[in-house]
Each structure stands twice: as structure tokens, then as C-alpha cells.
Chains A and B, each alone.
Chain A
Amino acid sequence: MTGGPLIVQSDKTILLEVDHPQAETARRAIAPFAELERAPEHIHTYRLTSLGLWNARAAGYDAEQIVAALIDHARYPVPHSLLVDIADTVGRYGRLRLLDHPSHGLILDTSDVAVLEEVVRTKEVAGLVGQRIDDTTVAVHPSERGHLKQVLIKLGWPAEDLAGYVDGEAHAIELDESGWELRPYQLEAIDGFWHSGSGVVVLPCGAGKTLVGAGAMARSQATTLVLVTNTVAARQWRAELLARTSLEPAEIGEYSGARKEIRPVTIATYQVLTTRRQGAYPHLELLDARDWGLIVYDEVHLLPAPIFRMTANLQARRRLGLTATLVREDGREDEVFSLIGPKRYDAPWRDIESQGYIAPARCLEVRFTLPEADRLAYATAERTDRYRLAACAPGKDDIVASLVARHEGEQILVIGQYIDQLNELAARLDAPIITGATTVPQRERLFAAFRGGEIPVLVVSKVANFSIDLPEATVAIQVSGAFGSRQEEAQRLGRLLRPKEQGRTAQFYTVVTRDTVDQEFASHRQRFLAEQGYSYEILDAEDLSAR
């Protein structure tokens, strides 16, 4: 009972009072083992999870330190049962270890024979391990290293992977820090990753994740495979690597639908890797095409399931996951943890914003009321059609037009889900449109023109959700989205967060139809950003047009 800034709840959440004088000390004390769940303006919520505790254990923290951190900073007594639970959970990590044995190769070794007995008797593990070497050791086939780790985590006995990594084929890569330097948090992120060999770095959009990737490549000094979401992102990576590192164009290959180059640094799209032909993945060989020393997964929250399976076989290679949000709409965070690795670095968006590394943003929700006639149509519509009806309400066009007029002279993105709606808007605003049907060269040309300021307004579908650098955009208007996807909202806001000239504030509008599912979905989507400390202002469309 120190009157500290932490309040420990019985459901294993920890509340941190941000304005408390000791808040920063307490945050540092708990950050290694508690996952930041929400970071709104006054009270941040952390959660103790098994994964988080094991992660801390892996980083060298023991149960005593964790318990002490909680007790020292807690305002009220910490429930004893919780402390016992923490000690128990932490104690489960590391009883099983994956080691590289000089004569037996990869082995699973234990300090607790009972645990080994328990796990090898389960049918999940039985198929993955080989011969029993002695009481405390069992052989493991190197190809099952990933699967075994996955299974052991599900059984609650996570293995400590000390089998090490292959260095891969050496290749000289240096950062070219002329006129810029890595930001302190980027350095911390790179260190955090490199120290442990594999894991995920969580940084907000616009905070320079590509540079963390480049930094990791410079550390590993080895051939690297970069996996990205789409071709445009691949080209951006390439441009960034050319500008920020010693790599020459001939050293960087693109492995996409269009080109199949394998070079010391190869950038491949998820799509091409997961293409199936006659039940097989023809491009899987890429993974073995070179002796890669490092694999970078961009936007790891979007990693498709087949890539997880492929990754299970790559456990001997260093793996770096990059993302702005670990929230996966499919809830497969655990697979990211066990196959790519634990989270190695995370910083609240607002912290990085307040340090001036990403642009400040204002989120506005514009609500408009359906006209009487449309309300009736909405009320009688089939449930499945309601969102489309509400999201594509004709009235939205006027509001978008008035918003565009309001921000004349600024670079404006109009983002939506439904192509018909976007086409109408494009016609109404006389602006070009980019959808999935737009060819890659055409996309690149339009993006370039937008960056250059020749096109002030660009209408884009969800193809522009990720990995597109548009630092000049200062206004985004969202007219419809993928139901209640929280990560989509975050990614769309992310388009605006690249730092602006003269520190201008970005404006992120969402146009929402009042009293419909559109409003419900909008509030669900906004939850992630609200939890990150962005408050939404609500505007009435009527007020907007009056002004």
C-alpha cells in the first residue's frame, strides 16, 4: 500500500493512473510482463496473461521481481491469490527446453521429469518427438520445432527455445544514416528484437516500421526475405531500402505476381506465396531458395493462415514481425506468439505522437439523419442488407462534398467499402478512384500524382488500407467500412499519421448514418482508437452544412 499509481483488479487487469507522479516508473516496472490493453486519456489498462508472463520470464524476469513490481506500485493490497497465480504461471515456463545437442541434434530437455512424462504422453506431442534419450531428454525432429512449440504452449508448458538460429548466408547491409538517424524507440525496438532472435515489434502507423526492419537487416548482415501484403507495399519497401541502406537496386528482388526475382534481399507478397495450384503452393520453394538469415513479416496481423503453417518450418531462422496492432479479427494472436515469437517492443501511440514522431490527429464522426422515406426503407429491409443501405445512404454524398469543400487546398483521401458508392462519389467529386480493379502501374501513377499534389482528392477502396505511404494526406473521409473491424479503422487512421510539414494536425472523418447499424459498427470500429487515447468528436451533419 504505497498510494502508488497501480490498481490491481481481480480479473488480472492492472489500471495505471497516467497523471500520477510515479506513473512512468510504474509503467516501466510492469511493461515487461503486462500487456497494454487500452490507453485512453486518464487510466491505462494492462493485462496479465500467461503469454505476457512467459515472455517476461524469457527475458530474464523471475516471479519475485514481477510480484515486487506489482506490490511496490499498487495503491491497494494485491490479492494474494493473484500473486500465487503469477508465481505458478511463471514457473511453468522453461521447465521444458529445446536445445541443440552435439550428438543427438535437436532435443527437448526438462528439469522436471514429471512434466516431460506428462507432455510426451499426450497424443498431440507423441507424434512430434522421436526417441527417448534418457529420463529427462527426448529427441525432436528439427522440422517439428515449430509445431512442438505450438502444441506445448497449448498444453500450458511453453518450451524455452535455446536451440539457436542459423546465421544464414552473409550479406553486407549497412544503414545509410546521412541526414537522418534512427529514432530512440526504433533503436530500442531493434535491440529488443535482436536480443531474443525472433518476435514482434508493435509500432503505430507512420512511426517508421520499415526502418526497424532495415535496422534489423543491418544487424543480421545476412540475406533477408521480406513478406509484405501487396505489390505496392513491396515497391515502397524497395524504395525505402534503397534510400536508407547501402543496398543497391541489383541486390533487391521482387517476388510478386508480376516478377519473380530472387536476390540477397527479396521482397515477396503474401498473395504470391499463398497462391495454390492443384492443391500445392508452387512458390513455396522461395522459402528455401536461399539460406535466409532473416525473415521479416510486414503487417503481421494480416498474416494468412497458410503462412503460419509455412512459418512453423522456419523456426531456425530469425523472424521479425512488424505491425501497428496485434489485434487480429480472427483471434489468432497466440499463433503469432508461438510461431513468429513474443512481442518484443510496444509503445502506446499517444506517447510516440507526443514525442512528435507521428502526426497528431483529430477524429470526427459526422452523424446524419436518414430522411423519412429512407428510414422506412431501412426499417423494412432484410437484416443482411441493412448495413449496406445505411452505409451507402445517398445523403452521404452531400456531406462528403461539403467536407471536401471545407478542406479545400488540402490532400484528401475518401475511403470506402462499396465500389458503387465510391464510383458515385468519384463522379460527384470529379476525383480519380483506386479499387482492386485498378492496375498496379495505374495505382502507382495515381499515388505519385497525389503525393505530388497534382490530384487533391483521391477516392480509394480497401486496397489502400495498408502499407501505402501517403505522407501528404491530411484529411481522410471514411464513408463505409468492413462492418466492425477495429484494425481497419486503425489502419485507415494510420494513412494520416505520417509526420506532416509544420506539424499539422490530420483530420479523420467518419460519416455515419444515425440510428442504424452503421452507427453501431462505427462505435465498434472506434473502440480500438479510443482505447489508444483518440477521442472522437461527434458532429451533426445539419450543423456542418449550416456552417
Chain B
Amino acid sequence: MTPAGTPHTARAADLVRHLERRSTDELVDLLVQRPDLAVPAPASLGALAGRALTRSSIDRALADLNSRQLAVVEALCALSRVEHPSAPRLAAALELAVGDVEEVLDVLAQRALIVEGRPVLTLAEACGPYPAGVGPPLDPPQSPAQLAQTLAEASPEARHVVSALAQGSPVGLLPEAAAESNPGPAEATRWLLERGLLHRLDDERVVLPLEVGLAQRDGRLPPGRSLHPPDPPGANSSAEHVAASAALQAEEFVRLTAELLASWENQPPQRLRAGGLPSRELRRAAAALGLELGQAAVVIETAATAGLIAPGGRTDADFVPTAGAMEWAAREAGEQWAQLVAPWSSSPRAAWLVGSRDDRGTLRAALSADVERGWVPRLRRRFLRTLAHLPEGSAPDSAELREILAWHAPRAPVSEESLAAVAAEAELLGFTGGGALSPAGRLILQEGAAHAELAAALEGALPPRVDELIIQGDLTGIVPGRPTAQLAKLLADAAEVESRGGGLTVRFSADSLRRAIELGRATVADELRAHSITPLPQALEYLIADAVRDYDTFRVGAAGSYVSARDEAAAQELLARGELGPARLQAVSPTVLVSPLAPHHLATLLREAGVRPLLDEEPPAPGPTTTTRRTAPAPANVVNSGPDRDALTDLVGRLRRAEAQVGAMAPGHIVALLREAATAAEVVSVVMAEAGGHHRTRLLRPLTVIAGRARMEDPAAGTEVTVAVHRIASVTSVPPPPRERIAE
């Protein structure tokens, strides 16, 4: 069997040269598109090439290809076994437009998957034994004319066998030998095997060689992957409707977050010893916000990701709003939303796992490490990108969405549950309205989108704020739209909210009005009148008057000390004394005066004025208020800037210099060269570190490279050595003397 490495696959050295020839910008693009290559930073371009050739990196790169790109990759790998296929040849084999194929080849070259139209070795391996559903090349080779002639001589039975294997899988089972009733298939198979038009795989199976299949299908590959994206679903609603409903939801999400922070400020939830939020605290938060548990978990996780919540309190036993949360609370709604949701697409937090059980049956808690998944950011970005490619306003249902996602990344299957969860999150956060991406949601995808742009997109989509209030005889008040901040605050203080949504309805009650007065709104009636477009109903006027009257009975103020006089005359006398001016005495009743001074100061002042007061026992000094702010460090304010191109440009610069300075080889590069030599059955010159620390160069033929160990054959001595890859310093190819070419 011909090895996967043929003259038509690119070798590691080709890839290194390819990388060296790329411009800095192109290399940065490569690192952006295959982020795993840059982390941790490779030491040289050789190391970069080595890493790019590892199977895991190739698999990741394949996971990012869409169905058409994969079809081209597979066609390329299949045809490369016998030729160096040109774009038109691939286009003909796939029945695609040449332009489309060229476009795909550009992408593949950009991602270092092909070099000069040839697939890198690992890519050819990753495509499996039968890429694009075709078999290995003919062995021994036959010229097309020869092949055509043999095929022409074939019996109808034999042609039937060839045709069947050319349509689907190239592998077939050998027919039952000498089935007497019907000897045809066995006879045909034997005939084909004899002429090399079928290869025997093992005792039971045969495989149709590549060229035979192609000849049978007039040079075309069997139909496999779908080459064209599924038709996008039509627009379900207008772009304005999407923008507006997503924006309302975004505003609601900000409100929910603010409410959560306020609630946790007053009563911080405990933290589990293992980290994470106890489920009773999650239930409490959900009840306070009027949400389902899953939605509450999203609110909590999002707030934490945005740095508004962190472990705090004494010994970090609680979760508390951070100092950043205070700044956040003071911002405009648009800014608040931007800060909250910007990190979403790059956050690995999978809030939908909260409340599910792990393998040991333990509940996964919110804010714990158990709900972190590395693949989540990729899924979120794929979700957003997929929606962004659809026409504006189109809202695919979950089946359609899965179909589209499957076309865009067939090698990265998505579980139905996670996709539904991500879609639900996007809706809750206000990226989508009714399942269609909003303009603000599109912005999130844009690299370097500033918070201000997001905020502006949101504000632009929201209906204008309303400053009017309609108060009715049944003691309800209605704001027919989004209330202004001032009106919203007034109503939050003076009434109970009955419903939210397009408008705001509130109910005034004796309790709510008392609360308003307690909060310092003694003139709540006037404030309401200022906003109300109707006169206040008489019932409300009475209700307010009753509430105010309740509060007239007692008053509280600040005083540092008091003077209690035996009678009114004595008190009046003190008030009249000019030299007691600094005491700023005030009568709070006919015989009691108060002063802002501390008691012993006041007593001294009085004594100096010739009055002899008795000092009542001094009360203990009030301690510091118990509401000391717990602050927790806020993480850096993450902006979705996308990958940092500047840093990557620096990295590329370093890689180039490193390549120029040292010829030393990175382990990845060494492995790539060894594997390449193994597949090609070539002898290479290997420099190895010996036990004593000195280097020794040997000519060896690598056999396998598995789990960090290379098994190699010394062709001169006829012995085998197994060496740990990290002991190999370098591998260089040796131009083989023509006579010594090692046969398979």
C-alpha cells in the first residue's frame, strides 16, 4: 500500500519555508485563525510549524472548516495520492465552480493546512484511509489508457461490482466463494483482483482503487458532503422589531442585575466551602427576581463574569457586590449593559449546567468551577456568527439552527442542549430578539467594538423614555412606556410595582407612601403631581395625607448634647445669652434645648458663662456604623477586543528572529520530521543526547513515533533503537544514494 506521504504531500520543511515566506500580517492572521498555535508562544517558526503539524492542532483547524471547505480538503487529500491536483481538477471532481475552489484553497493555505496546493502530511492522515470515499491508488500503477482498456474488457458482472463500489464506500466484502447457484459475483471479483482493479484488504474485504473509481465516475468524486449552505430561513420579523424587542430585553436584564446586586448588598449569600453558590441561595435570588432557576443562574454568572460579584465578606465566606459594582450602578443603562454582556462571547461559564449533577451525583453550583467549559466561548461565537450570516430579522428554530451550524462546522458537533441553552442566554441578555440577532448582537462579534458603541446601539433601539404618569381612582399609576430614571426612582420609592414590560404599572398603598416619606420624600404628593398628566385622585390625596399625618407624631434629628432646664424661664434665659452663641442652642420643647456640641464641650461653655450644669452620665460614643463596605477586587474590565493583534505581531517578530539566530529544533518540529520520515520510510540523520551529555549523530530509519518515543531502525547494523523524543536534538534528511532506496 502506498504510504500517505507521497511526493504530492507537503513536508515539514516545506511548511517551514512556507511560513518563512509569509508576511508578518499573514502570520498574525494564521495565529488568529488557529489560536492554539500561539499559546503557549512557540520558540521559533520551526516550532510553530511543528505545532501546526500535530494531529490535535490539525483536528482543531478542521473543526473550524465548513462543509464545502472540508469537501475540498478531502478531495485534495484523495487526489494527492496520485497527482498534484490543480484547482480546475478539484472543481471538476467536486462539480464546484473553479472560483469557489480557489477561494477555499486560499483559506487552507492561509491556515497552513496546504503548501503550494499540497496537503501537509498530518492533514492527509487526518482525512482517514478513504478520504472523500475513495480508495488507495492502483498498485502497481496503470496508465489511464491501460485502465480504460481493461475496464472495457470487463464482464457486465464485473462492471456491476466496480459501479457499486464507486458509488458509496470503496470497501466491499468478498462474495461467498463459489456459491454454486450464482457463481457470477465471485467470478467477477476474482477477475478484477487478478487484473489489479480491486485490492484485497484482508481475507474478507476488498477495496476499489482510487483511479478505478474515478474512471467509473468520469473523473468525479462520489457525492459526500453538501457543498452549499442550507437555505437561510426567511425573515420572521422586521429588523426594527428585532432591535426593539432585544433592546427591551437588554434593559430588563440590566434591571435584573441591578436588583440582584441590591439584594446581595443587603443580604450577601453564603459561599460553599468548595466555592460556588448554595442552591438555596440560588432559589432565593430566583424568587427575588421573579425568574426561573436557570435564568437566575445566568444573571448571577453574567454579573460575576463582568466583575460585579466576587467572594468577599470576612474570610471570603460570602459573595458580595464588588467595588466595581458600585461604579457600574452609577452608569447609564446602555453602558451598564455593554459592561455586563461584552465578556459573554469569550466566557467559558456554562450557566445552564447549574443544578445538573456530575458523575458522582453532586449538584453543580453556580459560581463554582464545575460549570466552566473550555469549548463554550467557541460555541457562543459560532452561534453569533451563524446568526450574523443570516438575513436581518431571520430567526431560525432550533432544528434549522443546528442544520446551519452543522454545515458551517461539520467536524464540531454541537449538543442540542448546549445550543438551546446558548440561544436562551442570548435572548435573555438581549443579543437576540425572538431568536433573530439584534444590531447590538452583531456589534459583539466585531473586534474592538467599544462599550460606547454597544451602549449607543442599545439606546438607539429603545423606545423614547416617558416622563408622564397616569394616576387612576383605583390607586394605580401607569407610565405608558419606559420611565425616565427620575420617574422610575420616584415610583420605586413611593409605590409597589405591579407589572413591567412595555409600560410600568404601580400601586400606591399606605405602606408604600410611608416608605416614600421615610426615604425623605415629604412632598411626595407634589412630586407625583409634577409627573401626573391627570389631577391626583382624591383617594390618593387622602392616602398621602394620612401617611404624612402618621409621621407628624414623632420627629428625629441630630444633636450632640441636650440641656434640660428646671423651668421654661431658665431655658429661655440660656437661649437669650449672647456669649452662648457658639453652643448653637435650640429649643426642642419649652424646657429642653439641644446643641450640636459634645456634652463635655457644652458643659465647659456653660461653666465659662457662669452656669453650673449637672452632667448626666455620658452615653458611650457611638461605634462606627456597621455598614462597612465590603469590597472585593474587581477583575480587569474586559472588552471584547478580539485577539490582541499587536501582541501577536510582536510574537511573529520574535519567531522570525529566533529562526534566524538558532538552528535548534523544537520538539514539535522533531516529531513532525520523524513521523514524516517514518511514513516515507526514509533514513535521516539523528543527533541524540547520550547518557554522558555529549551528542552523537546516527543514520536511522524511524519506524513509529508514539507517546513521545521514537522507534528507529539502524539500517547499517540491522538493529532497532527506541529513544525518547526529548533526547533528540535535531533531525536532518539525508539525500538517499540512488541505489540504496529502500523498497517497501
Where the two chains meet, the residues of A that have a C-beta atom closer than 8 Å to any C-beta of B are: 1, 7-11, 13, 15, 17, 38, 40-43, 45, 74-81, 83, 367, 515, 523, 527, 530-531, 533-538
From B433, B435, B539, name the one whose CB has the most chain A CB atoms within 10 angstroms.
B539
Min Cβ gap A301→B in Å is 20
Residues of chain A lying within 8 A (CB to CB) of residue B240: 1
Taken together as a complex, chains A and B put the C-alpha atoms of A530 and B244 apart, in Å, by: 34
The chain A residue with its CB closest to the CB of B436 is: A80
Q: Across the interface, do B473 and A534 meet the contact criterion of CB distance under 8 Å?
A: yes
Binary per-residue interface labels of chain B (221-249) against chain A in the complex, 1 for a CB within 8 Å, 0 otherwise: 00000000000000000001100110011
Contact of A10 (CB < 8 Å), options: B244, B427, B500? B500
Contact across chains for A45 and B500 when beta carbons are under 8 A apart: no
- The size class of the interface chain B forms with chain A is 20 to 34
A535 to B540, CA, bound (A): 11
Contact (Cβ within 8 A) A42 B472: yes
Q: Check B473 against A10 for contact (C-beta < 8 Å).
A: no
Name which residue of chain B comes closest to A39, CB basis: B474
Which chain A residue shows the least CB distance to B478?
A43
Judged by a CB distance under 8 angstroms, whether B398 is at the interface is no
Please tell me which stretch of B61-69, B501-509, B575-583 contacts chain A, meaning at least 4 of its Cβ atoms lie within 8 angstroms of it.
Answer: B501-509
Asked if residues A40 and B472 are in contact (CB atoms below 8 Å), the reply is yes
CB distance from B396 to the nearest CB of A (A): 14
Q: Which residues of B contact A (CB under 8 A)?
A: 240-241, 244-245, 248-249, 252, 427, 433-435, 463, 470, 472-476, 478, 480-481, 499-503, 505, 534, 537-539, 542, 546
Q: A40-B472, A77-B244 are in contact. Are A538 and B539 (CB under 8 A)?
A: yes
Within the complex, what minimum Cβ distance (angstroms) separates B299 from chain A?
15
Contact check: which of B241, B463, B481, B502 meets A8 at CB < 8 Å?
B502
**In the complex the two chains form, is B244's CB within 8 Å of A15's CB?**
no
- Is A40 a contact partner of B473 (Cβ separation < 8 A)? yes
| Minimum distance in angstroms from B482 CB to a CB of chain A | 8
Say yes or no: A42 contacts B499, CB within 8 Å: no
Q: Which one of A13, A535, A538 contacts B505 once the chains associate, using CB atoms below 8 Å?
A: A13
Other A-B pairs beyond A43-B505, A75-B480, A535-B538, 4, CB < 8 Å: A1-B240, A11-B499, A13-B501, A536-B473
Alpha-carbon distance between A41 and B478 when the two chains are bound, in angstroms:
12
B529 to chain A, nearest CB (A): 16
Nearest A residue to B474 by beta-carbon distance?
Answer: A530
User: Residues of A contacting B546 with CB < 8 Å?
Assistant: 515
Contacts of A81 in B (CB 8 A): 427
Nearest residue (CB) in A for B501 is A9
A530 with B473: CB separation less than 8 A? yes
Residue of A7, A83, A533 touching B501 (CB-CB under 8 A): A7
Query: Shortest distance in angstroms between B255's beta carbon and chain A's nearest beta carbon?
Result: 11
- How distant is A172 from chain B, measured CB to nearest CB, in Å? 47
Minimum CB–CB distance from B427 to chain A (whole Å) comes to 7
**Contacts A38-B474, A80-B434: A11 and B502 contacting too (C-beta < 8 A)?**
no
Contact of B480 among A17, A530, A531, A537 (CB under 8 A): A17
- 8 Å CB contact of B538 from A15, A533, A537: A537
Return A262 CB to nearest CB of chain B, in Å: 46
Q: Separation in Å of the B354 CB from the closest CB of chain A? A: 20
User: Closest Cβ of chain A: how far from B121's Cβ, in Å?
Assistant: 50
Q: How far is the CB of B364 from chain A (nearest CB, A)?
A: 25
Using known A-B contacts A1-B240, A43-B470, A43-B472, determine if residue A538 contacts B245 with beta carbons closer than 8 Å: no
Give which listed residue, A9, A38, A41, A530, contacts B502 with CB less than 8 A: A9
Complex A-B: 20 CB contacts under 8 Å: A7-B503, A8-B501, A9-B505, A10-B252, A11-B499, A15-B478, A40-B472, A40-B473, A42-B534, A43-B478, A45-B505, A77-B248, A80-B427, A515-B546, A530-B473, A530-B474, A531-B474, A533-B473, A535-B539, A536-B473
Q: How far is the CA of A79 from the CA of B499 in the complex (A)?
A: 14
Residues of B within 8 A of A43 (CB): 470, 472, 476, 478, 480, 505
Chain B residue nearest in CB terms to A529: B474
A513 to chain B, nearest CB (A): 13
Which has the most chain B C-beta neighbours within 10 Å: A42, A77, A527?
A: A77
Q: Would A38 and B480 count as touching, CB distance under 8 A?
A: no
Chain A residues, Cβ within 8 Å of B499 = 9-11, 13
Q: B248: which of A76, A515, A538 is its contact (CB, 8 Å)?
A: A76
Name B546's closest neighbour in chain A (CB-CB). Answer: A515
Name the CB-closest residue of A to B507: A527
- Is B480 a contact of A77 with CB atoms below 8 Å? no
Question: Are A15 and B542 in contact, with the CB atoms below 8 A?
Answer: no
Q: Chain A's nearest CB lies how many Å from the CB of B295? A: 11
Most buried by A among B241, B248, B249, B473: B473
CB neighbours (8 Å) of B473 from chain A are 40-41, 530, 533-536
Cα distance A367–B543 in the bound complex, in angstroms: 13
Judging by beta carbons under 8 Å apart, are A76 and B474 in contact? no
CB nearest neighbor in B for A534 = B473
B478–A11 touching, CB < 8 Å: no
**Which one, A13, A76, A83, A533, contacts B244 given CB within 8 A?**
A76
Query: When chains A and B are docked, how far (Å) is the Cα of A79 from the Cα of B251?
Result: 13
With A15-B478, A75-B481, A77-B241 known as contacts, the answer to whether A7 contacts B502 (CB < 8 A) is yes
Q: How far is the CA of A79 from the CA of B240 in the complex (A)?
A: 14
Once the chains are docked, how many angstroms separate the CA of A42 from the CA of B249?
27
A40-B476, A535-B538 known; A79+B249 contact, CB < 8 A = yes
B471 to A, closest residue via Cβ: A42
Of all chain B residues, the one with the shortest Cβ separation from A80 is B434
Q: Shortest CB–CB separation between residue B233 and chain A, in angstroms?
A: 15
Residues of chain A within 8 A (CB-CB) of B500 are: 9-11
Are the C-beta atoms of A75 and B472 separated by less than 8 Å? Answer: no
- How distant is the Cα of A78 from the Cα of B537 in the complex, in angstroms? 31
